[in-house]
A and B are shown apart, each in its own frame.
Chain A
Amino acid sequence: MKRLAAIAALAAIATATACGTTETADTAGTGGIYTTIDGSKQIDATAPINPFNPQGSTFVGYDAMALAWPKNNLTDPNQFYPGIARSWTTTPDQGEVVVHLQPNARWSDGRPVTSEDIRTSIGLAYTQGGSAYTVNAGAAGAAADIQILDDKTIKVTQGANHSNVFLRNVLSTVVVPAHVYGSLLPAGFWTTLEAARGTGPAADKAKAAITGLAQKVITFAPREDVSAGPFVLERINPGAALLKKNPHFYDAARIVPDKVKVLNYTGNEQIWNYLVSGKLDSAPFTAVPAAVMAKIKEAPGNEIRKGYSPVAVSMAFNQARKPYDNVHVRRALAYLIDRNQVTKIASPEAGTPAVTTTGIHGSSAKAWLGDGLAALDPYKVDPAKAEQELRAAGMVKKDGVWAMPDGKPWKVRINVPASFSDWVAAAKSITSQLNDHGIEASVITSADYVLYLDELAAGKIDIGFWLMALGPSPYNIYQRLYGSANGWSLLAGQLRHSPPGKDGNWMGGPETIGGLNPGELTNRLNLASPAEQKRIVGTLARLTNQQLPVVQIYDYVNTQFVNTTRYNGWPPAGDESLRLPAGVWMQLGMIRKK
């Protein structure tokens, strides 16, 4: 009897295996099913089909559309590919942005996409706050007026305090249908918004009324997906989302796949499995150990596309702690770290050793600084210079080991989150190198990233790894070094500096250096003309190179995986679209069936 039961169970599994691989309820047409993952979030099937919800069951580039898609330009943040906006014009000071919608744009239920949809989307964005759509009228780059010029044209006017990324922020607007989301904005919303731009108790009340809608907007759950993108959500479960082609998409002829399957993942290992088995047609970069990378490359059709990624990894100092308040110590450490070696160990595929420390990614540093880059100290490995610097800082060497000026032991502790394998490897490589040069160094890991950030903010860490150089906007680049982490924050449009240990200031650098206030210069970057921006970036790069609030270790390389077995026509290496989701590549006519 038991034997019979076992045979029956095995037969059931075998049948299931056989059935499962052949029978599908929804067969795809000639375009096939394009399989990928969403690098920005894990799937949560209970989340509403709502792009305003950070975990929402919508997928950027597929069924979630923006007015336009940002190009991965080295220096200009205002370069975009068309999305729902076919074209746009702006005044030289970006005071006015006029957006012309795609004439054939329709929602997946067949209704046309109109300027009213854009106006509603902007209204909803105000409830979430930030960038161009903030109720704080004094904030730089806040929109002051939204005007419908005709059914397919809309004008957005910037307030008095101009920002040079206003165009970028307007074009990044996520677009939702007014006939689905419109009811979320109460009657009189635009009047309330107008009142919120003033001052006094009435304005405060109006501001509270607008931001009070945030939760209602985030939790709104439409019964079905109504998309203006090339796809529309058909079904979702905790393991994957299935999107089908939107026949009403304005350029449907360009879209080749009939369906898109977005697989979920709970960790990098699952993405590695998908890649090794050749399951994914494309995937954004994931940290991969060398052995796994070799396996991925072996899988038939797998290829790697590399391009510019405006992110760099640095080793940041808490300058409120001794001896890291002394620039000579920071320089000495920079002279002892072999960045080539660290990068080779930590991120051989997705990193290039930093040329030097400028605060800017190496690729864009050339564009920003030109010949000025060569004039900076490259901090090549030089133990002799390191010794000079340490002696200048008053450090003493006893029995071949460096100690504090008072003779007490100097223990270099480098903190990293345990879950970031490349950072852990880099930190270990650095401590090994420092130990070789007589500096007692070790790695301390924090259990997870959230805890790590908390420890950083609390000033508990001497040296920690930090992401920086977040281009292309120069403000975003330097805000990581001279922003809230180093004491400077914007409050009601006013810049202020908090002392070390307060308001998240864990870097603890001085407010002014040689008469320069790096926080003020950074803040100015959002408002400056291109010529002034270039001058400020040059100043900040030199200052960063001399003062070393961080040691830039390696610059990330945008490394995408594609599989040529089922589709081709991928963006070439270095293409400005490479960081965008594959849904946008399809919109640009790039993906073709083999």
Chain B
Amino acid sequence: MTLIAVRGAPRVNPVVRRLAGHVVRGLVMIWVVTTISFVIIRNIPGNPVLGQYETLIEKGMSPDEAQRATAALYGFLPTGSLWEQYTGYMKALLHLDLGQSLSTPGTEVVTLLGSAAKWTVLPVLGGTLLSFVLGVTLGVYAGIKRSGKLGDLLSISGSLLHGVPQYVIGLLVLAIFTTLWPILPAGGPVDVEFVPGFNAGYLASLIQHATLPVLTYALASYGGWVLAMKSSVATVLGDDFILAAELRGLSRGVLFRYIARNAILPLFTILALSLGMLFGGAIFIERIFNYPGLGLLLVNSIGARDYALMGGTFLVTTVAIIIANIAADLLYAVIDPRVRTGGTA
């Protein structure tokens, strides 16, 4: 942090100035998205209490029981005009109060989000990092050896997996490892028979249950990393400094490092954004593997017309993506001197 005095006035560090700008823009963005999502959510057709009543009937409950089970839910429905609901919601939001859930009546939305977030982070973060490391490493090889058999093979594997929808990979993985070769559990985050804590059985069960979601996520996103890295490497290979390095007779290892470090720059932005997106959950993966993360929470909240929970889930996703955007921008400035404004390249 260096402040340089120019004509007597202190000059603000460009990174700090940049960060402040991002934060202001981010707050405006959060307000805009929250307002839009509030209006959309309140206008989704469907009566949540009638929906719950008929769903209980459909599940075999008698009308009397279903009526008993849903009568008190009316107390959890928002009241007042749309404007009154909106101002109330925004005021509560300033105090980080997201309201109470309707589908889990009376439970704070913050509690539900906190509970779901931890189960989203494990498979999605694990899957993202695994696919990033694998994809980037193999992408460099695919770029360098793009006219060879290995390069072709890696490119084809990348294109193939990139083109297969996430839910197809999930169903395939599920069928293989839980039915054809049943070595891993089909659903849930951890076996309830284990006492939660830092003990071998519980941790092993956690890993067991997370394996298939992580694998699915990694396979589904691996192709994108390979192809992006290959393309980036191909661009870098044409740069003058690579030709200069070759002419200087630098070793292959050094050359590989030069290529990889320069080619990976654009991918860091995508990685940061992916990490932000992870709070949106992986809806298909969580549903297929009954993994109780944010994606599943969002789907269930929409199905139940749980306005407060829908709003809370959208908000978390929005904030995470905005933070990831800011982080990506700052990170890019840090790792690539050329994009630093006010600095010297």
Chain A contacts with B in 14-59, Cβ cutoff 8 A: 15-17, 19-20, 23-26, 33, 39-40, 42, 44-48, 52-55
Question: In the complex the two chains form, is B64's CB within 8 Å of A169's CB?
Answer: yes
Question: In the complex the two chains form, is A238's CB within 8 Å of B205's CB?
Answer: no
CB-CB < 8 A to A47: which residues of B? 104, 107
Q: Mark A444-475, 1 if CB is under 8 A from B, else 0.
A: 00001111011101000000000100100100
Question: In the complex the two chains form, is B192's CB within 8 Å of A457's CB?
Answer: no
Chain A contacts with B in 307-322, Cβ cutoff 8 A: 309, 311
Given A45-B115, A172-B64, A470-B57, check contact A270 B303 (CB 8 Å): no
Min C-beta distance of B91 to chain A, whole Å: 20
Which among B63, B100, B189, B193 has the highest number of chain A CB atoms within 10 Å? B193
Contact of A273 among B178, B183, B304 (CB under 8 A): B178
CB-CB < 8 A to B163: which residues of A? none
Question: In the complex the two chains form, is B187's CB within 8 Å of A450's CB?
Answer: no
Given A131-B64, A218-B105, A450-B305, check contact A20 B52 (CB 8 Å): no
Does A274 have its Cβ within 8 Å of any Cβ on chain B? yes
Question: In the complex the two chains form, is B196's CB within 8 Å of A453's CB?
Answer: no
Question: In the complex the two chains form, is B69's CB within 8 Å of A448's CB?
Answer: no
Q: Mark B204-229, 1 if CB is under 8 A from A, else 0.
A: 11011101000000000000000000
Q: Mark B55-84, 1 if CB is under 8 A from A, else 0.
A: 111111111110111111101100000000
Question: In the complex the two chains form, is B71's CB within 8 Å of A129's CB?
Answer: yes
Question: In the complex the two chains form, is B211's CB within 8 Å of A264's CB?
Answer: no
Given A128-B71, A579-B60, check contact A54 B189 (CB 8 Å): no
* Chain B, Cβ-Cβ closest to A451: B46
**Bound-complex Cα distance A530 to B114 (A):** 54
Q: Mark A217-234, 1 if CB is under 8 A from B, else 0.
A: 111000000000000000
**Bound-complex Cα distance A235 to B196 (A):** 9
Does A512 have its Cβ within 8 Å of any Cβ on chain B? no
Does A294 have its Cβ within 8 Å of any Cβ on chain B? no
Question: In the complex the two chains form, is A240's CB within 8 Å of B188's CB?
Answer: yes
Does A388 have its Cβ within 8 Å of any Cβ on chain B? no
Does B33 have its Cβ within 8 Å of any Cβ on chain A? no
Q: Mark B168-188, 1 if CB is under 8 A from A, else 0.
A: 000000100011001111111
Chain B, interface size: which category? 35 or more
CB-CB < 8 A to A168: which residues of B? 64
**Bound-complex Cα distance A240 to B188 (A):** 7
CB-CB < 8 A to B19: which residues of A? none
Does B22 have its Cβ within 8 Å of any Cβ on chain A? no
**Bound-complex Cα distance A284 to B107 (A):** 28
Question: In the complex the two chains form, is B106's CB within 8 Å of A39's CB?
Answer: no
CB-CB < 8 A to B46: which residues of A? 448, 450-451, 453-454
**Bound-complex Cα distance A16 to B112 (A):** 28
CB-CB < 8 A to B189: which residues of A? 237-239
Does A241 have its Cβ within 8 Å of any Cβ on chain B? yes
Q: Mark B32-59, 1 if CB is under 8 A from A, else 0.
A: 0000000000000111101110111111
Question: In the complex the two chains form, is A13's CB within 8 Å of B72's CB?
Answer: no
* Chain A, Cβ-Cβ closest to B211: A13
Question: In the complex the two chains form, is A265's CB within 8 Å of B187's CB?
Answer: yes
Chain A, interface size: which category? 35 or more
**Bound-complex Cα distance A127 to B288 (A):** 39
* Chain A, Cβ-Cβ closest to B48: A450
* Chain A, Cβ-Cβ closest to B299: A266
**Bound-complex Cα distance A467 to B53 (A):** 12
Question: In the complex the two chains form, is B115's CB within 8 Å of A46's CB?
Answer: yes
Does B296 have its Cβ within 8 Å of any Cβ on chain A? yes
Min C-beta distance of B98 to chain A, whole Å: 14
CB-CB < 8 A to A53: which residues of B? 104-106
* Chain A, Cβ-Cβ closest to B207: A16
Question: In the complex the two chains form, is A215's CB within 8 Å of B292's CB?
Answer: no
Given A26-B195, A265-B290, A273-B186, check contact A48 B72 (CB 8 Å): no
Chain B contacts with A in 106-140, Cβ cutoff 8 A: 106-107, 111-112, 115, 119, 137
* Chain A, Cβ-Cβ closest to B105: A218
Chain A contacts with B in 225-271, Cβ cutoff 8 A: 235-242, 261, 263-267, 269-270
Question: In the complex the two chains form, is B188's CB within 8 Å of A263's CB?
Answer: yes
Question: In the complex the two chains form, is A20's CB within 8 Å of B208's CB?
Answer: yes
**Bound-complex Cα distance A54 to B54 (A):** 14
Question: In the complex the two chains form, is B115's CB within 8 Å of A238's CB?
Answer: yes
**Bound-complex Cα distance A455 to B52 (A):** 15
Does B21 have its Cβ within 8 Å of any Cβ on chain A? no
* Chain A, Cβ-Cβ closest to B67: A130
**Bound-complex Cα distance A500 to B47 (A):** 19
Given A238-B188, A455-B45, check contact A449 B55 (CB 8 Å): yes
Does B256 have its Cβ within 8 Å of any Cβ on chain A? no
CB-CB < 8 A to B54: which residues of A? 449, 453, 467
Min C-beta distance of B70 to chain A, whole Å: 7
Question: In the complex the two chains form, is A39's CB within 8 Å of B179's CB?
Answer: no
CB-CB < 8 A to A241: which residues of B? 192
Question: In the complex the two chains form, is A450's CB within 8 Å of B182's CB?
Answer: no
**Bound-complex Cα distance A20 to B193 (A):** 10
Does A479 have its Cβ within 8 Å of any Cβ on chain B? yes
**Bound-complex Cα distance A52 to B68 (A):** 9
Given A236-B192, A470-B62, check contact A270 B105 (CB 8 Å): no
* Chain B, Cβ-Cβ closest to A479: B63
Question: In the complex the two chains form, is B47's CB within 8 Å of A239's CB?
Answer: no
Question: In the complex the two chains form, is B60's CB within 8 Å of A26's CB?
Answer: no
**Bound-complex Cα distance A23 to B50 (A):** 45
Question: In the complex the two chains form, is B178's CB within 8 Å of A235's CB?
Answer: no
CB-CB < 8 A to A594: which residues of B? none
Min C-beta distance of A562 to chain B, whole Å: 17
Given A19-B204, A235-B192, A457-B47, check contact A448 B303 (CB 8 Å): yes
Given A26-B195, A235-B192, check contact A13 B207 (CB 8 Å): yes
Given A12-B207, A13-B211, A449-B54, check contact A238 B119 (CB 8 Å): yes
CB-CB < 8 A to B68: which residues of A? 125, 128-131
Given A130-B67, A455-B45, check contact A264 B303 (CB 8 Å): no
Min C-beta distance of B218 to chain A, whole Å: 11
* Chain A, Cβ-Cβ closest to B103: A55
Min C-beta distance of B313 to chain A, whole Å: 14
Question: In the complex the two chains form, is B47's CB within 8 Å of A214's CB?
Answer: no
* Chain A, Cβ-Cβ closest to B112: A46
Does A67 have its Cβ within 8 Å of any Cβ on chain B? no
Contact of A467 among B58, B67, B115 (CB under 8 A): B58
Chain A contacts with B in 388-444, Cβ cutoff 8 A: none
Question: In the complex the two chains form, is B63's CB within 8 Å of A476's CB?
Answer: yes
Question: In the complex the two chains form, is B72's CB within 8 Å of A128's CB?
Answer: yes
CB-CB < 8 A to B182: which residues of A? 277
Question: In the complex the two chains form, is B64's CB within 8 Å of A309's CB?
Answer: no
**Bound-complex Cα distance A26 to B192 (A):** 10
Does A276 have its Cβ within 8 Å of any Cβ on chain B? yes
Given A25-B199, A47-B107, A169-B64, check contact A20 B191 (CB 8 Å): yes
**Bound-complex Cα distance A376 to B83 (A):** 56
* Chain A, Cβ-Cβ closest to B46: A450
Min C-beta distance of B290 to chain A, whole Å: 5
Chain B contacts with A in 296-332, Cβ cutoff 8 A: 296, 300, 302-305
Contact of A17 among B67, B119, B184 (CB under 8 A): B184
Question: In the complex the two chains form, is B179's CB within 8 Å of A277's CB?
Answer: yes
**Bound-complex Cα distance A583 to B58 (A):** 21
CB-CB < 8 A to A165: which residues of B? 64
Contact of B107 among A15, A46, A217 (CB under 8 A): A46
Which among B195, B201, B209 has the highest number of chain A CB atoms within 10 Å? B201
Given A16-B204, A55-B105, check contact A242 B192 (CB 8 Å): yes
**Bound-complex Cα distance A34 to B230 (A):** 53
8 further interface pairs, Cβ-Cβ under 8 Å (given A240-B188, A270-B187): A23-B201, A53-B106, A172-B65, A217-B72, A264-B292, A265-B187, A449-B54, A467-B57
Instruction: Please list 22 pairs of residues, one from A and one from B, whose beta carbons are closer than 8 Å in the complex, sorted by A's number.
Output: A16-B207, A24-B194, A40-B59, A44-B103, A45-B115, A52-B72, A54-B70, A55-B105, A128-B71, A169-B64, A214-B71, A236-B192, A239-B209, A239-B290, A264-B187, A273-B186, A448-B46, A450-B48, A450-B51, A457-B47, A476-B63, A476-B64
